[in-house]
Structure 1
Amino acid sequence: MNLEELFRSSWLRYEFLDNTVAEYLITAAVLLFGFIFKTLFSRMISGLMYRLGSRLWSEANLPEFRRLLIQPLEILLFLVFLYLAFQVLDYPMEQSDLREGDPFLKTFMFRTYQVFVIVALTWVLLRFIDFVGLVFKYRTEKTASKLDDQLVPFFKDFTKVLVVVFSFLVILGSVFGVNVTGLVAGLGVGGLAIAFAAKESLENLLASFTIFLDQPFMAGDLVQVGELIGVVEKIGFRSTRIRTLEKSFVTVPNKLMIDKPLDNLTLRTFRRARFDINLTYDTSSEQIRAITRDIQNYVDQHPRTNEDGRIRFLNLGPHSKDVMVQYFVDTMDWNEFIDIKEEINYKIVEIVEKHGAEFAFPTQTIHLQKPRAGKHEPPAEQAYFENSDIK
């Protein structure tokens, strides 16, 4: 008995759902092979892709490339092995093989497979875009301009959105047979409703282009928008991410970034320090003149301040005589600014103490007046109560 006769007489020739047991075994073997070796093949393919474009992305290394692409490539390769495995079975693997009379389960599984293939390809493209964005990020870090630092993440996100929209249209057209051209043309009828629904998103998108063209701020600038103060970390096509001085991460829509008054603190030439020195009311005019003169001289001679410092006896407050202190520090760094301000504050305290003056705090002075000698009339309040009818 030869192998052909053995096969015909054995259980391998038994059919189930129009396919023999042998065909099912071959299908399972192909799937098992793909599941075991998909990681190896994905590493080989990613390495080949990296070597082909190594001249374009010499700034990034192979581990970064594989870190982004291996997982989506594994899914895509497994779907390829799934396609090869089902070629052995009597099962439709082409769009033209589906018929109107086919069972729902068969049609559903085939449509689902097509969707997964397109999604996997989209995932590979998105990860590849991330890698290209990483390459350009390395390049922009070597330049002095900040404009390219914010353009790279913007166009990376914008390209990813276009890829996702295109993939969605491909799924509608190739998988579900939707007339995409007619669908896009038909959107003109409901375009007004869609425009109103996407009003905020469109405004933020247009605002992002305004930010890039007008450049009121860039990534890395310290800005103040309303009550919010922080460093711009990223400018997206919908919102701007700001790291506040409290180290929290705030997302602000781009429309608000251009509608509200925005103070770019990084573009200031100096940082201003302004506060009042509250001296007690028993401080003499000679002491105040000496204190203001010494503080003015120290501020003017300080190497990190300019000549616009003003020290003036400005106000007679309810509890103190107030001396205004205002000066400008030649730095944009916050930590350096507070260090210089602390140094000047110590010197101000020394000057006040040197001239024998004291700092004031909210107090009240109550004067008690004794009755005049020879008069025995009680105070008005006492006389009132004594003359009243209260018993």
Structure 2
Amino acid sequence: MKLPSFLYYEFLGNTLGQYLIAVLILVVGSALRRVFSRLLSKMLFSLTRRYTGGVSEEELHGLLIQPLSTLLLVVTLQLAGATLTYPHGPNAPVSGQLPWHEVLLLRLLSLAFIVAAAQVALRLIDFALLVISRRAAIRVAHSPTRLDNQFLPFAKDLLKVFFIIVATLVALGKVFEVNVTALVGGLGIGGLAVAFAAKESLENLIASFTIFLDQPFGVGDLVTAGPVSGTVEKIGFRSTRLRTAEKSYLTVPNKSMIDKPLDNLSLRTSRRVGFTLTFDQKTTSAQLHDIITDSLAAMQAHPLVSQDVQIKFSALTLMGKEVNVQYFVDTTSYDEYINVKEDLNYRLVEVVEQHGGVFAVVREKP
């Protein structure tokens, strides 16, 4: 089939037919790239359907369509550019060498392709970790384990850092023509200087691995490390995020979480309550004995109070007769702990009133 003669008309080193082909590739690629992205995403979901329990196809589409669309756009630009001959101008370089502006354009396209491919890889990591977390949640009846909450976000960040490093090395080698082997070897020579420069960052990174290996605390635990206290919300490469009692968001370097005595309040089996009651001197010994006996019985009868309850007439002072009270509430919930204290305080007051006891009046010094 003979093409129209006007398609052979040359302009800037390319025929009109070449320009039309390039424009057609751009139009078709730009118009259908989201359709192709959804098709590729659907094919991937079909291939992995048996392993993706708990993750819907729409969730995969939401993760992949945008980076796949960007990747296909870059491929479209490369295909369209491959159909054209870049004009060299009158001062063309030596045969076999490309002018600097053409080299720059090709390198920009190559860099864009690597960046887009890396974005697709990062989204695939998000998808893989989402599948693992959903399957773990199903396996433990919708109750993620300590490892799921703590290790999976860390593993996702670690894999992403690894892929970003790989993509950076590929870009340096393919786009900027850097000798990657020599560069990696040179890092061994300059590693000591880098280690000193990034000493704190390395210490925090090592501390993060220590946290995951020893597991002194996990996501959701209430901890106190030195002067800071709060509920752990996230454990990262460099820092641990805490939600304080004032609901502020506190970021603590991982090194500070392990080089100070750490109290994991969530792992305690009970909460201690201790205080002193001071009775007026008018309270008789018989009344005091009955108050202690009935208060002890009331506390031991409470379902959330352990049996090691102590109520002792401990001291006789000028202020009055002191009775020490100590018991443990078998709960890790702060709200439940406060409710038990309130119930038993009311019960103590009722017992004192029932036996006619009188609390001592504490007078402030002038």
Q: When the two structures are superposed, what TM-score results if normalisation uses the length of structure 2? A: 0.86
The alpha carbon displacement at 1:20 in A equals 3.9
Taking the TM superposition and a 5 Å limit, the aligned residue runs for 1:286-305 are 286-305=286-305
> Which residue of the partner structure matches residue 129 of structure 2?
133
> Which residue of the partner structure matches residue 206 of structure 2?
206
The alpha carbon displacement at 1:88 in A equals 1.9
Are 1:43 and 2:15 an aligned pair? no
Is this contact kept in 1: 2:201–2:238, CA < 8 A? yes
Distance 1:167 1:220 in 2: 34
Q: How many residues align?
A: 355
Q: Say which of 116, 139, 151 aligns to 1:120.
A: 116
Question: Which amino acid in 2 is paired with 1:151?
Answer: F
Q: Say which of 91, 99, 102 aligns to 1:102.
A: 99
Question: Given the superposition, is the C-alpha separation of residues 5 and 117 from structure 1 closer, same or farther in structure 2, using an over 3 Å criterion?
Answer: closer
Question: Given the superposition, is the C-alpha separation of residues 3 and 207 from structure 1 closer, same or farther in structure 2, using an over 3 Å criterion?
Answer: closer
Distance 1:81 1:244 in 2: 51
Q: Say which of 9, 14, 18 aligns to 2:13.
A: 18
SS in 1 for 2:233: strand
> Which residue of the partner structure matches residue 264 of structure 1?
264
The one-character-per-residue Cα deviations of 1:40-89 (angstroms, maximum 9, x if unpaired) are 11111000011111122223111111111111001001111111111221
Distance 2:67 2:5 in 1: 45
The one-character-per-residue Cα deviations of 1:103-146 (angstroms, maximum 9, x if unpaired) are 3x332222111111101111100110011111111122233752
Distance 2:309 2:96 in 1: 87
Are 1:64 and 2:68 an aligned pair? no
User: 81-90 or 286-295: which moved more?
Assistant: 286-295
Taking the TM superposition and a 5 Å limit, the aligned residue runs for 1:156-195 are 156-195=156-195
Question: Which amino acid in 2 is paired with 1:191?
Answer: G
Distance 1:319 1:183 in 2: 79
Taking the TM superposition and a 5 Å limit, the aligned residue runs for 1:142-161 are 142-143=139-140, 145-161=145-161
Question: Which amino acid in 1 is paired with 2:214?
Answer: D
The one-character-per-residue Cα deviations of 1:230-280 (angstroms, maximum 9, x if unpaired) are 333333333223333343333322222211111122222211122333555
Question: Given the superposition, is the C-alpha separation of residues 276 and 19 from structure 1 closer, same or farther in structure 2, using an over 3 Å criterion?
Answer: farther
Larger Rg: 1
Question: Which amino acid in 2 is paired with 1:109?
Answer: L
The one-character-per-residue Cα deviations of 1:294-316 (angstroms, maximum 9, x if unpaired) are 32221122221112222234467
User: 239-248 or 258-267: which moved more?
Assistant: 239-248
> Which residue of the partner structure matches residue 87 of structure 1?
82
SS in 2 for 1:84: helix
Percent identity, please.
48
The one-character-per-residue Cα deviations of 1:167-195 (angstroms, maximum 9, x if unpaired) are 10111111000001101111122111101
The one-character-per-residue Cα deviations of 1:279-336 (angstroms, maximum 9, x if unpaired) are 5566555544443333222112222111222223446788675543221111122222
SS in 1 for 2:343: helix
Question: Which amino acid in 1 is paired with 2:99?
Answer: D
The alpha carbon displacement at 1:161 in A equals 0.7
Question: Which amino acid in 1 is paired with 2:269?
Answer: T
Distance 1:284 1:99 in 2: 112
Question: Given the superposition, is the C-alpha separation of residues 364 and 132 from structure 1 closer, same or farther in structure 2, using an over 3 Å criterion?
Answer: closer
> Which residue of the partner structure matches residue 371 of structure 1?
none
Runs of 4+ in 1 over 6 A off after TM superposition: 316-320
Where in structure 2 are there 5+ consecutive unaligned residues?
A: 88-94
Question: Given the superposition, is the C-alpha separation of residues 365 and 189 from structure 1 closer, same or farther in structure 2, using an over 3 Å criterion?
Answer: closer
Question: Which amino acid in 2 is paired with 1:24?
Answer: Y
User: 287-296 or 58-67: which moved more?
Assistant: 287-296
Is this contact kept in 2: 1:140–1:149, CA < 8 A? no
User: 83-92 or 66-75: which moved more?
Assistant: 83-92
> Which residue of the partner structure matches residue 351 of structure 1?
351
The alpha carbon displacement at 1:214 in A equals 2.0
Distance 1:281 1:114 in 2: 91
> Which residue of the partner structure matches residue 236 of structure 1?
236
SS in 2 for 1:55: helix
The alpha carbon displacement at 1:155 in A equals 1.6
Question: Which amino acid in 2 is paired with 1:304?
Answer: L
SS in 2 for 1:250: strand
Distance 1:285 1:116 in 2: 88
SS in 2 for 1:247: coil
> Which residue of the partner structure matches residue 380 of structure 1?
none
Distance 2:194 2:188 in 1: 9
Question: Given the superposition, is the C-alpha separation of residues 307 and 100 from structure 1 closer, same or farther in structure 2, using an over 3 Å criterion?
Answer: same
Question: Which amino acid in 2 is paired with 1:88?
Answer: T
Question: Which amino acid in 2 is paired with 1:136?
Answer: I
